Amino acid sequence: MHDNVVLDSSIIAAIFFPEKISGKSLEIAENHDCITVDLAYAEVANVAWKRSSHTGQDTEMAKNMLGECTAFIRETCQVLQAQDLVPAAYDLACRHRITVYDALFLAAAVQCASPLVTADKKLHLAAKQIVKTELVH
């Protein structure tokens, strides 16, 4: 059995939407049992939208990658409900001056006593005060 890690949306998106950190993100996912928050569905959909709207990526290609992302979340990850994490996320957001969206992933890592993996430097800096974290860059 692999160790658990909490993946934020930046890592999940990087697995399916090619970028500099894609290889490392995929390696982490393949070698760990993955946990995420249901917010990841909306956030990866936003990545797909940005790819098709802002970078000119083919809309259908982005939609297919989005389908792969959501299948990964649904089939591979343990998905925690944001509603269950909101009180802790709010406190973490206020204490560490990060968005509640980011704090949801941090709250998940705290609840599961698992490392947080992110590509977000600000989230990494806040998280490393509380849990083990890995910044993928």
- pLDDT one-digit tens code per residue, 31-90: 999 999 999 999 999 999 998 888 777 889 989 999 999 999 999 999 999 999 999 999
Residue 1 pLDDT level (bands cut at 50, 70, 90): very low
pTM: 0.94
**Nearest CA among 67, 91, 79 for reference residue 39:** 79
Residue 109 pLDDT level (bands cut at 50, 70, 90): very high
CA distance 26 to 3: 15
